[in-house]
A = this chain, B = another copy of it.
Amino acid sequence: MTTYQTLRVRPTDPGVLTVAIDAPPMNLIGPELVRDLVTLLGELESGDDVRVVVLETADRDFFVPHVDLTKIAEYTAEAAKAGGSDDASLGMLLHRFSTLPVVLIGKLRGRARGAGSELLLASDMRFAAQENAIIGQPEIGFGALPGAGGMQHLARLLGRGRAMEAILGGDDFTAEEAERYGWVNRALPDAELDEFVARLARRIASFPPEAVRVVKETLNDLTLPPAESIRADARTFRRLAATESLKDRSAVLFADGLQTRGVLELELGDRIGSLGS
C-alpha cells in the first residue's frame, strides 16, 4: 500500500478511488503535496484497477488556496521528478493527469485559487458546492499569471471576454458564477454534491473500459491544450515571478496574513484589489 503524507486515498466504489487533499494547516501546494501527486500519477499510470478518481478536500474552507509562495523552487523540483520533460513544471504535472486513461472528477468545496483552480481545470470535469465553493485566479494581483494551465483552459472554456475578466480581474467567483461561465460543469447544493459525483463516478467505472479510454483520448485530441502552450505559460510565470512586483506585493500580503488561516486568505480575491498600483 502506497503511503501518502498529504492525500487521503481510499477506494469508494468498484473502480473508483477517492483522493482527499489533507495538507494542514490549509492545503497549500508545497513540496509534500506535489511529491504525493507525483506518486499518485505513477500509481494511476501503472495500475489498471482504478478507472475513476474523485478529487476532493479534507478541509471545508480550502480546497487548495494557492501554491506556497515561499517554496516555488522546492515544489517545482518535486514536480520535475514526474519526468517526461526537461522543462518540468507544476503545469506539466497537471497536464499528465489530464492525459491519463483514468477519468478524473474534481469536487469543489471551499476555496480553489491559483493552482487549486488549475488542478480542477486539469481534471476531466468538476462540480462545485453552491453554498461554499469559491474559485479564482488571483495571480494578476501578485503581478503574475496562471502558470499551470489556467490561461489555456480558461481561454478555451470561457471564451475571450470571460477569460479576460476572470484572469485580468483576479476576483473570486462563486459556484453559481463559475457554472454560468463554464469554469465548473455544475453548481449543486452541498447536500447533493457527494451523491451526484459518486453516482457519476460509479457509472463511468461501470462502462466498458476500452470505450471510456477511447472517448477520453478523442476528446483530449479535440480540446486539451497542447503541452507546448502549458510550457510557454510556465516560462512566462517564472519570468514574472522574478520581478519586483511579485516580491513587493507578496510582502504586503504576507504582512496581512497570507498563507495563514484567516480573513485575508478567506477573502483573497477581494483583497488583492486594494493594494494600490
Q: Which residues of A contact B (CB under 8 A)?
A: 14-15, 103, 123-126, 139-141, 143-145, 151-153, 155-157, 159-165, 167-171, 179-180, 182, 184-185, 199-200, 202-212, 214-216, 218-220, 222-224, 229, 233, 236, 240, 243, 245, 249, 272-273, 275-277
Contacts and interface: CB of A to CB of B under 8 A. Distances in A.
A52 B261 CA distance: 33
B218 A233 contact: yes
Contacts of A243: 208, 210
A277 B223 CA distance: 28
A126 B219 CA distance: 23
Contact of A273 (B14, B159, B203): B203
B216 A164 contact: yes
Contacts of A240: 210-211, 214
A155 to B, nearest CB: 4
Contacts of A160: 124, 153, 156-157, 219-220, 223-224
A123 B168 CA distance: 14
Contacts of A222: 151-152, 155-156, 229
Given A168-B103, A211-B140, A161 B202 contact: no
A113 to B, nearest CB: 15
A20 to B, nearest CB: 21
A219 B277 contact: no
Given A145-B218, A206-B275, A200 B140 contact: no
A155 B216 CA distance: 11
Nearest to A126: B161
B273 A206 contact: yes
B185 A249 contact: no
A207 B124 contact: no
